[in-house]
């Protein structure tokens, strides 16, 4: 398979992920509104949902550039994070931490590295926009966590963090599988498996884990 | 690879400032990421988050001030993130 086609398949998965993230942020905005969170957080979550929809369009533009025959993958129609029986407040915080503190923090770190090697104009254009937005998305998670932690104990989240990390790392798995044995796809925005693992580990150990510990959420070491 | 400590400051501390209102000077962060709980220090100001976000949208932002020589620079305790500047 040509490198372009190989890379396009990974962007196809990313396109689906962006659609799912848009749904999750929209649900988060609803839960924040229902839990009387500051309107700035609710509005930010709504903006994040719009960002993610725009990201999906950027991913599609890359696919069209690299391998136009690839159709969109069907996203999960109704993704939901957190215990189904949880209150809107708890579900919102669970989603903020899983999506913002964990997934988007990892994405930011990976995109910083991806941007260095992205040479294809369509990829470079998209990565620049997505990176700027991911910073805001991650900050929403850390902002919501800090807001709630200032008022009550958030340590109930601790047992769920390893699962959140596993799920987030699995999201990056297409990069690992797609680049395995392939020539370097950095120009198309695809990192080597070893780089993905190294960056994720450093981000978990030096950003996510200490950030959660600030609020009393201790995550056991691997 | 990019410096994870910068990521920590921009994402975690930047987010904490947003969540607990715009704190003018974030706590020092140790090399291990440990820091006093900025959230607890500033929890009473949480309502102000609606009025002031800590993202630096540009030179007109309240995050910026005139520095030495008149150039616009980030206020003490504010860090520009990628794609923004004063």
Among B10, B34, B46, whose Cβ lies nearest the Cβ of A135? B10
Judged by CB atoms closer than 8 Å, whether chains meet at B11 and A142 is answered as yes
Collapse the DSSP code of B65 into the 3-class scheme (helix H, G, I; strand E, B; otherwise coil) and give the result: strand
Indicate whether B17 belongs to any domain: yes
CA B41 to chain centre: 15
Position B75 scores a pLDDT of 75
- Determine the pLDDT at residue A81: 82
* Within a domain: B78: no
Q: Is the pTM of this model over 0.90?
A: no
For residue A136, give how far its alpha carbon lies from the nearest alpha carbon of chain B (Å).
Answer: 8
Number of separate domains in chain B: 1
Residue B70 has pLDDT above 60, yes or no: yes
Identify whether B66 is part of a domain.
no
Task: Examine residue B21 and state whether it is found in any structural domain, yes or no.
Answer: yes
Cβ <8 Å between B34 and A150: no
In this prediction the ipTM stands at 0.90
Q: How far is B65 from chain A (nearest CA, A)?
A: 22
Answer yes or no: is pLDDT of A92 > 50. Answer: yes
Note the CATH architecture for domain A3-71+86-213. Answer: Up-down Bundle (1.20)
Q: CB count, 10 Å around CB of B48? A: 15
Whole-number average pLDDT of chain B: 58
* Whether pLDDT at B4 is above 80: yes
Q: Which domain holds residue B8?
A: 4-55
**A139-156 confidence digits (pLDDT tens):** 999 999 999 999 999 999
- Residue B22 resides in a domain: yes
What does the alpha-carbon distance between residue A189 and residue A118 come to, in Å, rounded to a whole number? 5
The residue ranges of every structural domain in chain A are: 3-71+86-213
Angle between helices A39-66 and A3-34 (to 10 degrees): 160
From chain A, pick out residues whose CB is under 8 angstroms from the CB of B18. Answer: 40, 139-140, 142-143, 146
A126: confidence class by pLDDT, cuts 50, 70, 90: very high
**Strands B64-66, B72-74: pairing kind:** antiparallel
pLDDT digits (tens, 9 = 90+) for A11-65: 999 999 999 999 999 999 999 999 888 888 999 999 999 999 999 999 999 999 9
Smallest Cα–Cα separation from A146: which of B54, B78, B31?
A: B54
């Amino acid at each position: 398979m040509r490198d372009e086609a190989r890379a396009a398949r990974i962007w196809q998965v990313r396109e689906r992920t962006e659609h799912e993230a848009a749904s999750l942020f929209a649900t988060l905005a609803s839960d924040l509104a229902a839990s009387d969170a500051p309107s700035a957080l609710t509005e930010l979550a709504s903006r994040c949902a719009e960002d993610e929809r725009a990201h999906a369009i950027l991913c599609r533009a890359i696919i069209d550039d690299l391998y136009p025959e690839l159709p969109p993958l069907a996203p999960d129609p109704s993704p939901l994070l957190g215990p189904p029986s949880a209150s809107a407040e708890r579900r919102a915080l669970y989603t903020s931490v899983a999506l913002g503190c964990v997934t988007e923090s990892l994405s930011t770190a990976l995109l910083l590295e991806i941007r260095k090697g992205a040479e294809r104009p369509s990829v470079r254009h998209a990565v620049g926009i997505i990176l700027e937005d991911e910073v805001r998305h991650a900050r929403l998670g850390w902002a919501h966590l800090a807001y709630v932690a200032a008022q009550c104990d958030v340590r109930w989240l601790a047992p769920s963090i390893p699962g959140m990390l596993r799920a987030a790392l699995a999201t990056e798995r297409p990069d690992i599988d797609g680049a395995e044995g392939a020539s370097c796809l950095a120009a198309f925005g695809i990192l080597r498996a070893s780089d993905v693992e190294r960056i994720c580990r450093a981000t978990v150990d030096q950003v996510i884990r200490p950030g959660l510990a600030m609020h009393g959420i201790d995550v056991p070491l691997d | 690879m990019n410096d994870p400590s910068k990521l920590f400051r921009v994402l975690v501390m930047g987010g904490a400032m947003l969540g607990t209102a715009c704190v003018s000077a974030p706590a020092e962060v140790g090399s291990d990421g440990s820091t006093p709980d900025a959230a607890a220090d500033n929890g009473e100001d949480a309502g102000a988050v609606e009025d002031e976000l800590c993202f630096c949208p540009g030179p007109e932002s309240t995050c910026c001030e005139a520095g030495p020589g008149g150039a616009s620079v980030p206020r003490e305790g504010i860090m520009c993130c990628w794609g923004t500047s004063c």
